[in-house]
Copies of this chain bind each other. A is one copy, B any other.
C-alpha cells in the first residue's frame, strides 16, 4: 500500500480535467436530456430541480458512464439518456438526503428544502426518481433497468442503515463500510456498469467497471467524511462540521473512538448524542482526530480503495479514457489535501 500512496503522491497535481475534456461532447448531450426531462407543467418542479441540477454539480456520475463508455470505445448515443437517468437518481437522493439531515447548505448554496420546504423536496425527488425510470424504459434495456432499480433499493437501504446507526458511536468500521458501499458506492458502480451494457460487452467487463465504480465511490465517500473535519464552508461549499453536529458516525469518529481513552470515548458519546456540539466541542473533536491519526488513516483507507479502483481497470487498453479514469480516482482522493 505504501507503493500505491507513493505513486499517487509523486504524480502532478491530481485533476479531473482529463475526464471533463474527454466527456465534454457527451455531457452536453446528457445535459440536454436532463434539462428537457426535468420539465413539467407544474412550474415548481423544474424550478426546484433546476436549483440543484444547475447549481454547481460536477455531473461526476454521468461523466463516469461516459468515461467508461469511452474506455470501451462505444460509439453510440444510448448512454446519454441513461447517464441522465443516473443523474436524476442522484439528484432525487440529494433532495431526500437534505430533508433527512435537515441540511441548510449544499455546494455553497441554500438547499432546496431550506428554500422551498421539506414537502416540495420530498415530492420533486419522487418525480425525478420516476422520470429516471421513464428514461430507462425509453432506452428499453431490462438489464440496465435491473441494475439501476437494484442500485436504488440498495441506496435506500444504506440510507436507512445510516439513520439507524446515527448517533451510535459503537458502529464498527465494517458496518460503516457496508453503509457507504450501499448509500454512495452503489450508484457509482451502477453508473460505470451500464456502460458495459450499452457497449454490449461481456460479464467480465461489467464486473470490472462495476468494481472500478464501487471502489471509487467508497474512496470518494471516505474522503468526504475526512473533509468534513479538516475543511471549512468556504473551501468545500457545505457546512463544515455538519457530520459532527448531526451525530453522523463516519470513519474518522469510529477510529478516534476505537483508539480513545475512556475520557475521550465519553466525549465522543456526548458529542455524537448531540449533547456536546458547540464550536469548542468541534475544535476538541478535531484535535482528538488529529492526535489519534484518525483522519490520516481514513485517508489511507481511501487511497487503498482508490488503488483497487485503478486495479479494476488495469486490464483495459491504455489510452486517453483509461488515463482519465485513473486520474479521476487520484482527484477524488486529492480533494482532501
Contact = CB atoms under 8 A, between A and B. Distances in A.
Nearest to A120: B163
B124 A160 contact: yes
A101 to B, nearest CB: 8
Contacts of A131: 153
A164 interface: yes
A45 B157 contact: yes
A136 B145 CA distance: 9
Tallying the copies of this chain within the complex gives 2
Contact of A157 (B99, B120, B127, B150): B127
A118 B118 CA distance: 10
Contacts of A153: 127, 130-131, 134
A146 interface: yes
A130 B146 contact: no
A160 B39 CA distance: 13
Given A137-B146, A160-B42, A163-B44, A129 B127 contact: no
Given A140-B142, A157-B42, A119 B100 contact: yes
Interface in A100-129: 100-101, 118-120, 122-124, 126-127, 129
Nearest to A165: B42
Nearest to A141: B142
A42 B145 contact: no
A156 interface: yes
Contacts of A101: 119
A159 interface: yes
Residue of A100, A130, A131 with most chain B CB atoms under a 10 A cut-off: A130
Residue of A131, A150, A156, A159 with most chain B CB atoms under a 10 A cut-off: A156
B152 A126 contact: yes
Given A44-B163, A142-B137, A157-B127, A122 B150 contact: no
A161 interface: yes
A150 B137 CA distance: 10
B150 A127 contact: no
Interface string A2-40: 000000000000000000000000000000000000001
A156 B134 CA distance: 13
8 contacts: A42-B161, A123-B156, A129-B152, A129-B156, A130-B152, A131-B153, A133-B133, A137-B145
Given A118-B118, A122-B122, A145-B145, 17 more contacts: A42-B157, A42-B160, A43-B164, A44-B160, A45-B160, A100-B118, A100-B119, A123-B163, A126-B152, A127-B156, A129-B129, A130-B150, A130-B153, A130-B156, A134-B146, A136-B149, A142-B142
